[in-house]
Amino acid sequence: MALMGPSGSGKTTLLNTLAQRQTATVSGQVLINGQEQPRATHRQVSAFVEQEDTLIGSITVRETLRFGAKLGLPRSIKDSEIDSRVRSVIAQFGLERQTDTLVGTPFRKGLSGGQKRRVSVASQLITGPGVLYLDEPTSGLDSTASFEVMSFIKSIAKQHNLIVIASIHQPSTKTFELFDQVLLLSQGKTCYCGDRTKIPDHFAALGMGLPPMTNPAEHLLDLTNADFSDGQARIERIVNHWRTSESREELDLSLEGVIARSNNSAQSFQDSSAKPGAVNQTLTLLHRAWIKSYRDIVTYWIRVAMYLGLAIMMGTVWLRLSPNQANIQPFINAIFFGSAFMSFMAVAYVPAFLEDRAIFVKERENGLYGPSVFLVSNFIIGLPYLFLISVLFSIIAYWLANLNPTAHSFFMWVMWLFLDLLAAESLVVLVASIIPNFVGALAITAFANGLWMCVGGFLVSLPTLNVFWKYAFHYWDYQAYVFQGMMVNEFSARTYKCGVVSGQEGCTCLYASALEDQCEIAGSAVLKEYGYALDRQGQWVGIMVAIVLGYRLAAWLAMSIRKS
Ligand SMILES: Nc1ncnc2c1ncn2[C@@H]1O[C@H](COP(=O)(O)OP(=O)(O)OP(=O)(O)O)[C@@H](O)[C@H]1O
């Protein structure tokens, strides 16, 4: 069935209402086989293909369909059967030659627009729905590609006894003729609903017959458009004519028949408990995210390169500092840069997360999985990459800057940096879950990281920081714990040479410590100045883990509440 009508006539609203996908206030009933069904049943028996393709660009056509099947089909279905279903859907959509072609990203060319549309529809058909809703399946395609997409859909609909309801804007004559039924809307009202072939007679009775050599779809749109002269009066005539027409009477009668029959027979639909379990779905998402993470440079590799650049820059700016008192402040500054600025740069994760979130929203709408599965897989897939970034950054920057040169201190630094990046990424996930908009999420994450920098205790020492900022924000500032941890790592066991004044005997030490008479400063004196304890790293690690989990939990809450 083609759902047609001029712009703003209510096509999308009706389609969403039928598919039970929106919360707009509507009245009336949506019946399947003559009976009202719960939302979960709608999701089981139907599939919805949105106007925009939300495909993952860095996986192949075969992988797209396989992952779609594994996420949506009951776990009792074996891998071999999934593979054969995938092969058959690929063949039905004429995509054999593109089976192992990537869908395509801005950096790697993949499928054409029409092929992408076919993959979008195919990925919804793999789970074998009975009703398929298509929101403007041909938008953005030229008339040849539109016809091609619709004819594939038509032949599959015939083969599988599938009901297809597609909103469509301005189909060519050939594409229009693929539809059996037409529902014509204008200003939210029905202008015609029924057999396509009966349209010419229906409108001819109104004196609005189809002129020769005219595209029928275009003619119908002209008739129902209120913007033309006499538009309003004409639409009212069309609507009234439909209300009293024979076609309308026939439709009512057949609906009454369906409802009466359904009252005498209980409908049973497929059991939803047979869906794949949360663990299986998490593993499937992890597998898909893993492929995406190594193929798509935007996900992690741009960030790896950026952190490598920053490591070289930091290591050469703070180049081989010797441990003397003049370098104590530069060491502290290096630690601040290594903790605060590194986490600030996590804003580079915003676009990749928003892309994953868009896929999640679509798949949740289709009833595949919820926020827990998405967030757990997102968390796990980030761990190896963040660890890799922490190790690579540290190998370069730590030794070039000559921070405390012991193996133990190096590994402790890597751990602090890893926790830092993990917390920063969790903050991005939280902010982008609440504000799923590129500029908005970027601005708020940058603001939050700016705030954490200011109240961390380095730019303004804790005793000086005013009580509001201290008590409201300092104690859950993840950057503060990383800074403290890195400071203890550098200064707890290292000594620094005091300064010698030329022409004088002895030396002057900037920090008083027990080693003053040997012209040295014990690093612990620096920590004393900042008020940092030497033995609380374990507690700080615990607090960092709690902050990371807190951010992820808050993101889960935001995603559970926010549905779009
Ligand atoms: N039956 C109705 N009664 C009253 N208002 C309606 C009805 N259907 C839709 N609307 C309202 O009309 C507006 C346009 O609806 P919608 O976006 O569904 O139109 P559309 O035909 O899909 O437009 P386009 O082709 O431009 O996407 C929306 O604000 C919607 O809430």
Cα–Cα distance measured from residue 26 to residue 29, given in angstroms and rounded to the nearest whole number: 9
Contact 207, 241 (CB under 8 A): no
Contact 53, 117 (CB under 8 A): yes
Per-residue pLDDT, 200: 92
Contact 398, 311 (CB under 8 A): no
Nearest CA-CA partner of 43 in 369, 414, 303, 307: 369
Contact 478, 540 (CB under 8 A): no
* 391 Cβ neighbours under 8 A, 6+ residues apart: 414
Q: Stretch 286-307: mean pLDDT, rounded?
A: 91
Q: What does the DSSP assignment read for 293-331?
A: HHH-IIIIIHHHHHHHHHHHHHHHHTTT--SBGGGHHHH
164 phi, psi to nearest 5 deg: -115, 125
User: If you take atom 16 of ligand 1, which residue's CA is the nearest one?
Assistant: 10
Per-residue pLDDT, 39: 82
Ligand 1, from 4, 13, 52: best to mutate by most atoms within 8 Å of Cβ? 13
Sign of torsion over alpha carbons 169, 170, 174, 179? positive
Nearest CA-CA partner of 33 in 157, 182, 163, 153: 163
Band (pLDDT 50/70/90 cuts) for residue 270 is low
Whether pLDDT at 272 is above 70: no
Band (pLDDT 50/70/90 cuts) for residue 266 is low
User: If you take atom 14 of ligand 1, which residue's CA is the nearest one?
Assistant: 8
Cα–Cα distance measured from residue 335 to residue 453, given in angstroms and rounded to the nearest whole number: 12
Per-residue pLDDT, 425: 97
How many angstroms separate the first and last alpha carbons of the chain? Answer: 27
Q: Which helix or strand (DSSP H or E) is residue 515 part of?
A: none
Per-residue pLDDT, 86: 94
Per-residue pLDDT, 410: 98
Q: Stretch 148-171: mean pLDDT, rounded?
A: 91
Cα 280 to middle of ligand 1, angstroms: 39
- For the CA atoms of 121, 125, 129, 134, what is the dihedral angle to 10 degrees? 0
Q: Where are the beta strands (DSSP E) in 159-262?
A: 163-167, 181-186, 189-195
Whether pLDDT at 108 is above 90: no
For tokens 């099947």, what's the residue? 69
For a pLDDT cut of 90, what percent of the chain falls above it? 71
Report the DSSP beta bridge partners of residue 131: 46, 163
* 240 Cβ neighbours under 8 A, 6+ residues apart: none
Contact 288, 88 (CB under 8 A): no
Contact 219, 252 (CB under 8 A): no
Band (pLDDT 50/70/90 cuts) for residue 268 is low
Give Cα 233 to chain centroid, integer Å.
46
Give Cα 29 to chain centroid, integer Å.
32
**Mean per-residue pLDDT of the chain:** 92
Nearest CA-CA partner of 114 in 136, 145, 137, 93: 145
Cα–Cα distance measured from residue 319 to residue 323, given in angstroms and rounded to the nearest whole number: 12
Which of 97-101, 143-147, 536-540, 554-558 is least confident? Answer: 143-147
Cα 187 to middle of ligand 1, angstroms: 7
CB-neighbour burial class of residue 271 (10 A; exposed 0-12, middle 13-18, buried 19+) = exposed
What is the DSSP secondary structure assignment for residue 209, as one 8-state letter? P
Tell me which amino acid residue 172 is. Answer: S
User: If you take atom 13 of ligand 1, which residue's CA is the nearest one?
Assistant: 8
Whether pLDDT at 242 is above 80: yes
Contact 93, 152 (CB under 8 A): yes
Whether pLDDT at 269 is above 70: no
Q: Which helix or strand (DSSP H or E) is residue 178 part of?
A: none
Cα–Cα distance measured from residue 543 to residue 476, given in angstroms and rounded to the nearest whole number: 8
Cα–Cα distance measured from residue 221 to residue 308, given in angstroms and rounded to the nearest whole number: 58
Helix, strand, coil % in the chain, rounded to nearest 5: 60, 10, 30
Q: Which helix or strand (DSSP H or E) is residue 147 part of?
A: helix 143-160
For a pLDDT cut of 70, what percent of the chain falls above it? 98
Per-residue pLDDT, 271: 55
- Radius of gyration (C-alpha) of the chain in whole angstroms: 32
Band (pLDDT 50/70/90 cuts) for residue 412 is very high
Band (pLDDT 50/70/90 cuts) for residue 414 is very high
Which of 74-88, 126-140, 265-279, 546-560 is least confident? Answer: 265-279
Contact 149, 138 (CB under 8 A): yes
Band (pLDDT 50/70/90 cuts) for residue 558 is very high
Contact 91, 129 (CB under 8 A): no
Q: Which two tokens mark 440?
A: 């908005």
Cα 9 to middle of ligand 1, angstroms: 5
- Ligand 1 binding residues, C-beta < 6 A: 5, 7-13, 188
Tell me which amino acid residue 156 is. Answer: I
Cα 188 to middle of ligand 1, angstroms: 6
Per-residue pLDDT, 372: 96
Q: How many CA atoms lie within 13 A of 427 on its CB side?
A: 29
Q: Stretch 179-187: mean pLDDT, rounded?
A: 95
Cα–Cα distance measured from residue 37 to residue 22, given in angstroms and rounded to the nearest whole number: 16
Ligand 1, from 3, 4, 12, 239: best to mutate by most atoms within 8 Å of Cβ? 12
Whether pLDDT at 273 is above 60: no
User: If you take atom 9 of ligand 1, which residue's CA is the nearest one?
Assistant: 10
Give Cα 205 to chain centroid, integer Å.
51
Q: How far is CA 548 from CA 203, 462, 484, 551, in A?
A: 65, 23, 17, 5
Query: Tens digit of pLDDT for each residue in 376-388?
Result: 999 999 999 999 9
Q: Stretch 415-438: mean pLDDT, rounded?
A: 97
| ipTM given for this complex | 0.96
Measured from the Cα of 189, ligand 1's closest atom is 1
Per-residue pLDDT, 504: 78
Which of 37-46, 196-205, 313-322 is least confident? Answer: 37-46
Which of 107-111, 335-339, 421-425 is least confident? Answer: 107-111
Cα–Cα distance measured from residue 191 to residue 422, given in angstroms and rounded to the nearest whole number: 57
The residue among 24 and 298 whose pLDDT is bigger is: 298
Whether pLDDT at 211 is above 80: yes
390 phi, psi to nearest 5 deg: -60, -45
Whether pLDDT at 422 is above 90: yes
Cα 209 to middle of ligand 1, angstroms: 27
Contact 421, 389 (CB under 8 A): yes
Q: Which two tokens mark 424?
A: 């920063």
Which of 167-176, 219-228, 344-353, 411-420 is least confident? Answer: 219-228
Cα 16 to middle of ligand 1, angstroms: 11
Q: Which two tokens mark 459?
A: 């730019």
